Amino acid sequence: MIIIALFISSCTRAQNQPKITGEQLEAPSAWVDSVFKTLSPDQKLGQLIMVTAYSHADRIQTERIAELIRYYHIGGVMMAQGGPQRQVNLVNYFQSIAHVPLLVSMDAEWGLSMRLDSTISFPRQMPLGAINDDKLIYEFGLEMARQLRRVGAHISFSPVLDINSNQWNPVISTRSFGSDKKQVAERALQYMKGLQDGGVLACAKHFPGHGDTDNDSHTSLPSLFRSKAALDSVELYPYKQLIPAGLCGVMIGHIGVPAYDASNSPSSQSYAISTSLLKNQLGFKGLVITDDLLMKGANGNFSSTESAVKSLIAGNDILLNPESVPATIYSIKTAISKGRLSWKEVDAKVKKVLAAKFLVGLNKNRLVSTKNVITDLKLDAAKYLNYELVKNSLTLVRNQKNLLPIIDVEKQKIGAVSIGAELDNAFLNTLAKYGPVSRYSVWMNDEEAEYEKLYQSLADMQTVIIGLHSIDTNVKDNFAISENARKLIVRLSKTSNIILAIFGNPYCITNFDYLPAILVAYDDNALAKSLAAQAVFGGIGLSGKLPVTVGVGFKKGDGVATKPTRLEYAMPEAVGIQLSDLNRIDSIAQDGVNKRAYPGCVVLVAKDGKVIYEKAFGYHSFENTVPDKVTDVFDLASVTKIAATTQGVMRLYEQGRIDLNSTLGSYVPVARGYDKSQLLIKDLMTHQAGLTPFIPFYKNLASGDYNYDSSATFPTRVAQNFYIRKGYFNNVMLPQMLASRLNAPGKYVYSDLSMYFMQQVVQEVSGQPLYTYLKTNFYKPLGLTTMGYNPRSFLSVNRLVPTENDRAFRHQVVTGDVHDQGAAMAGGVAGHAGLFSSANDLAVLMQMLLNEGEYGGLRYFQPETIKKFIVYQNPEISRRGLGFDKPEVSLAERSYGSTAKEVSDETFGHTGFTGTCVWVDPKYKLTYIFLSNRLMSAEDSNKLGGMSIRPKIHQVVYDAILKVERSAKQ
């Protein structure tokens, strides 16, 4: 469905611009003829010149370009560094003063971010070469066309057709699709089609090939010392594929090719290459454009004006960036007067330039809208395309010992370090979402002492994940990898399993061919870092293939495929939902903050195993001093029932150690002297046992039962400076519950006592305290670092959101101690309350259930066990499952319930008194989590419930899902 939507989007955008092919440049045009007839000789020559303009330039520079347009009638401008809005304004200004509309170009191989600020940073061509899905490359070209048109450009100096056959090449490197001619041609063809279907002329470069050169044509004239046969077989291969497919433009490089021109003249000035080879032999009829004429490779033996003249004589149609426009025009006229060039040849070139302008619609409209430029460039669909490009490019070039994805997170100490990046970065932060990872960072050029200190911190780790950042493309300085960094990795490899993630040029992996697991991410931005971290733990699968051969150990096409095993952190578009359709969540959640329903909250939505929405709103308290973060930890309140006790019951039931039809007394000896002994386990789990709903234990607390300091007599913390007598729960609270009034079973009455009792069942049957059993069997294997009881014992207080301002019992702001008074008096661990968690960890636990008991490569339950517990048990009596809450049975009542109206009957979850909820819908593979601390409010009214904030947000999600379903049916 997602792929279909992607291509519907593609087709829609393509229809907005004329599709272009090279053959159309030769089609007769009345507009071209009419404009041509108005041009003077000097104006004709001006049409053959394109100069560079900068949108960040000052007024003097801008007017210099304007003068060239007014008085020398240049045919186009190449827009370079600046900003999108400034470029649009400048292009419109230039177009408004031009006698003939200007052909606007951009050298934007990997998108506008190559030249403009405030734009999406798309991958370069090498990572695109790692992608196995040609449709994504086409979509990239189409999106590039849309963005180029939006900023007033008509021609893109891309794709690069150079084949990366020389890894010592100082200029091409990651700009090439790869080292295989067929792969380069296939990717470039899709890129070209996308551009031209979107109404932009593609100009492939650098003819005849810059991939096997040792020098940079910006600084000198490189030479391609290959035979004609070799050139024809390799360098020219992509051109032979793209030219018949309709390529509109070719940029001639400043490269000496002795096999075709014994004088070793730059290709741009060689008739043998620009005309005989490109036009006559390969049959190219489109625009031929020189590379930048200010480059040293163009002017080694001649003056800049003579280089321009020779380029025209050689066969080029457009001169890019000659040093002096007036001098160049004068030199061209001189060459014509001397018979070196004819007006007939010039006229043909001019008409071809005018035909290109006609082809891109400049005969109809030359101006661009100035409204919402930056917003238009950052459409959610474009961001998602970028996400998919980066995700699909990631390449696992080696995976010995099957280290990726990491599975047994609880059975190994895992360390992670970023070399060349700060500690607070997307790679390390995302790794932390998956489990207990000790994180470190060091800068590439830090002193040896810093590296030694880091080594000592990591030396005892079984697995060390290393992110290598701040590397460059310069082979001569070993890609800026310091000797200290190399030595550290070598030392660690002798004691630990190393997983190396390279954020940059893959050629640097020759330094690390001894390592067992190497992941290439190609780019060093936040998106690449996050996705690489997800790949390490199986949040995403890997499919990329190495596009180049590196050394002797890594061949083109190497790449180990993996499958996702854990949650992915993606965009809504990954599941077919538009981000804009979830924007109402923001306003609803923020409205609760503004109206003081709670100081802050966190909302998380996961669908199809992907977290598609995760945001924090407000603050820890109404003082607005500490902003909420998505990593914050909340008191889950009654969500404890399903995230803790029910998990234990399910496991023991599956093992045959608990019988739902058995009685409380059969498992809990202390209950056997009470009428509760005969209560059925299934009735306790469905709140049908006839129990008293609630006992206010704190009201019966005598002065001798607590103290303000901890001691052997008062060891149990209830809150700050508040400790209760040893054994109080077993000696006072539990007997009180067992002796409480019991009503006739079979009627639904919600009671906390049921889960107090089930806690005792789990502990007696397992032989372990509840938290120990849960942590061992679920929380640690799942990598849940925040889920647990009494979080002060294992988390920083800064991560704990204050739960309530307790005015009735503890008379203080309660932070990290459970709100529920009974659970607090029981030592913070209870079957019905006391569990704390971040939204992420709760989502992981729920995803395991959605996965029918499997997560991260491990199985926790059999599918039939989960199904047994999450279905309605007695729908004629209540909406309850076994432990789990469910939507109202009556559809009419759902409008007033805790869920969205459209939830399926398969939905299960729970709400919490502190302002929390989690709802899981297997039909839609959906998890919705809302965490807040509503009890911080001094008001008695439940604004959170009164404003229906939780179900309203839930409804937004279903509205978005159902919108997708309706679209798919149309």
pLDDT confidence tier of residue 14, bands split at 50, 70 and 90:
very low
In this prediction, residue 220 carries a pLDDT of 67
Q: Which residue has the tokens 């590296």?
A: 451
Catalytic residue chosen out of the listed positions 56, 99, 133, 218? 218
Cβ contact 792:800 at 8 Å: yes
CA distance 667 to 685: 15
Higher pLDDT, residue 299 or 324: 324
In this prediction, residue 173 carries a pLDDT of 84
CA distance 443 to 960: 44
Q: In this structure, what token pair is assigned to residue 76?
A: 């186009």
What's the number of CA atoms in the CB half-sphere (13 Å) around residue 566?
30
Q: How many degrees, rounded to 5, is the angle at CA 674 between CA 672 and CA 680? A: 70
CA distance 550 to 17: 41
Mean pLDDT of 355-376: 96
Higher pLDDT, residue 1 or 682: 682
What's the number of CA atoms in the CB half-sphere (13 Å) around residue 640?
31
Which CA distances in Å does 248 have to 80, 154, 201, 235, 243? 21, 12, 6, 19, 8
CA distance 648 to 762: 6
pLDDT confidence tier of residue 217, bands split at 50, 70 and 90:
low
Q: In this structure, what token pair is assigned to residue 830?
A: 């209870």
Comparing CA positions, the residue from 639, 37, 31, 572 lying closest to residue 355 is 31
In this prediction, residue 13 carries a pLDDT of 44
3-state SS, one letter per residue, for 544-579: CCCCCCECCCECCCCCCCECCCCCEECCHHHHCCCH
The alpha carbon of residue 606 and the mean position of all alpha carbons in its chain are separated, in whole angstroms, by 15
Report whether pLDDT(212) > 80. Answer: no
CA distance 668 to 753: 14
Residues ≥6 apart with Cβ < 8 Å to 139:
6, 7, 10, 194, 385
Q: What is the pLDDT of residues 624-648, one digit of tens each?
A: 899 999 999 999 999 999 999 999 9
pLDDT confidence tier of residue 214, bands split at 50, 70 and 90:
low
Using CA atoms in the order 371, 374, 380, 382, what is the torsion angle rounded to 10 degrees? Answer: 110
User: Which pairing describes strands 610-618 and 568-569: parallel, antiparallel, or unpaired?
Assistant: parallel
Which CA distances in Å does 380 have to 372, 377, 416? 14, 9, 32
Write down the mean pLDDT value for the chain: 94
Whole-model pTM over 0.85: yes
Q: What is the pLDDT of residues 272-294, one digit of tens each?
A: 999 999 999 999 999 999 999 99
Q: In this structure, what token pair is assigned to residue 516?
A: 């067992």
Hey, is 957 helix, strand or coil?
helix
3-state SS, one letter per residue, for 220-259: CCCECCCCHHHHHHCCCHHHHHHCCCCCCEEEECCCECCC
Hey, is 500 helix, strand or coil?
strand
In this prediction, residue 5 carries a pLDDT of 46
Residue type, 533: A
Q: What is the pLDDT of residues 707-738, one digit of tens each?
A: 999 999 999 999 999 999 999 999 999 999 99
In this prediction, residue 168 carries a pLDDT of 72
User: Which pairing describes strands 319-320 and 49-53: parallel, antiparallel, or unpaired?
Assistant: parallel
Buried b or exposed e, range 478-494, using 16+ CB within 10 angstroms? ebbbbebbeebbeebbe
Q: Which residue has the tokens 């790679």?
A: 427
150's enclosing H/E stretch is helix 134-150
Q: What is the DSSP letter of 333?
A: H
A 10 A CB-CB count for 387 gives: 17
Q: What is the pLDDT of residues 242-251, one digit of tens each?
A: 999 999 999 9
Side-by-side strand order, sheet with 788-789:
634-635, 835-837, 788-789
DSSP for 674-692 reads SGGGG-BHHHHHTT-S-B-
Q: Where are the alpha helices (DSSP H) in 835-928?
A: 839-850, 863-870
Mean pLDDT of 949-966: 96
pLDDT confidence tier of residue 9, bands split at 50, 70 and 90:
very low
Mean pLDDT of 516-524: 97
CA distance 113 to 944: 44
In this prediction, residue 213 carries a pLDDT of 75
Helix axes 646-654, 863-870, angle to 10 degrees: 130
Buried b or exposed e, range 672-687, using 16+ CB within 10 angstroms? eebebbebbbbbbbbb
CA distance 30 to 40: 18
Report whether pLDDT(476) > 90. Answer: no
Report whether pLDDT(16) > 90. Answer: no
Comparing CA positions, the residue from 549, 720, 719 lying closest to residue 168 is 549
Report whether pLDDT(391) > 60. Answer: yes
Which CA distances in Å does 494 have to 218, 231, 377, 416, 487? 44, 45, 48, 16, 11
What's the number of CA atoms in the CB half-sphere (13 Å) around residue 152?
33
910's enclosing H/E stretch is strand 908-912
Q: Which residue has the tokens 């310069």?
A: 474
CA distance 97 to 460: 70
Q: Where are the alpha helices (DSSP H) in 369-524?
A: 373-377, 380-393, 426-431, 448-458, 483-493
What's the number of CA atoms in the CB half-sphere (13 Å) around residue 117?
7
Give yes or no: 817 in active site: no
Report whether pLDDT(845) > 90. Answer: yes
Give yes or no: 33 in active site: no
3-state SS, one letter per residue, for 295-329: CHHHCCCCCHHHHHHHHHHHCCCEEECCCCHHHHH
Q: How many degrees, rounded to 5, is the angle at CA 451 between CA 450 and CA 457? A: 95
Mean pLDDT of 593-617: 97
pLDDT confidence tier of residue 940, bands split at 50, 70 and 90:
low
What's the number of CA atoms in the CB half-sphere (13 Å) around residue 400?
9
Report whether pLDDT(102) > 80. Answer: yes
Catalytic residue chosen out of the listed positions 291, 628, 632, 683? 291
Comparing CA positions, the residue from 102, 147, 110, 138 lying closest to residue 126 is 110
CA distance 437 to 439: 6
DSSP for 156-175 reads E---B------TT-SSSGGG
CA distance 473 to 168: 10
- Provide φ and ψ at 215, rounded to 5°: -120, 160
Q: State what percent of residues in the chain have pLDDT above 90.
A: 89
Q: What is the DSSP letter of 942?
A: -
pLDDT confidence tier of residue 264, bands split at 50, 70 and 90:
confident
